[in-house]
Amino acid sequence: MDGLLGWCVVANVAATDLENLSPGTELWVLPPQRGDDGQDVVVAGRHRRSPGPLSQMVVPRVHLTNFQVRGIYEPSVRRELIKQRQRTVPRQWESREEAERVVEWWAGEAAVHSGVRRPLERVDFYHRLAQVLPGHVLQQWAVRDVVNPRLSFEFGDLFRDQEEVDAVRELRELLGTIEAAGRRDNELWPAAGTLAEKIRTLLSR
């Protein structure tokens, strides 16, 4: 491929509340940097209402959608992606294969958090559901978060529809029954695990 300068991930802005970026704006997205979990990503794109050159910035990944891998052919894009941040050059994608693997992971998380006003909390709740069974090191805190009386059931806040709300309420009642019995070997734990996995499936549709 003549002129290929490297590989990168591109995505569109999905949120309406990012101060400097309009919904639909296309961004070039760098991989998770050393020492972080990739929840905030380094990107290159054009600011809202700006016809000027690309600028490098950091945005929360939950506000991005439509991840795909694309070759870099324009030197101006490459220059912005390798511009120093805090005296170091951001880590670049090592290969097309690496970018494709991460895009698959990011697309799966995007399916979880899209369409709600509190996407980060929804993702956290999704991961908590995998930790509710006895034996998990975070089980105590996972159960506490699932049965939290302050958990919002307003549509569009954390949950998208009535099916999700009903399933979460059912799990909360089941966990309450288990807790009231006071036995860690309660025979209802398998049912709780099955229901938690069902909810994870609903949240990731």
pLDDT at 129: 96
pLDDT at 142: 95
72: Cβ contacts below 8 Å, ≥ 6 apart: 4, 5, 6, 7, 8, 28, 78, 81
What is the model's pTM? 0.73
Which parts of the chain have pLDDT scores under 70?
Answer: 1-2, 15-17, 50
The secondary structure of residue 34, as a DSSP letter, is T
pLDDT at 62: 86
CA dist 131 and 127 (Å) reads 7
Q: 45 and 21 in contact (C-beta within 8 Å)? A: yes
CA dist 77 and 53 (Å) reads 9
Q: 23 and 14 in contact (C-beta within 8 Å)? A: yes
pLDDT at 110: 87
Q: Three-class SS string for 178-197? A: HHHHCCCCCCCHHHHHHHHH
The secondary structure of residue 149, as a DSSP letter, is T
**What's the CA angle centered on 120, arms 162 and 69, to 5 degrees?**
105
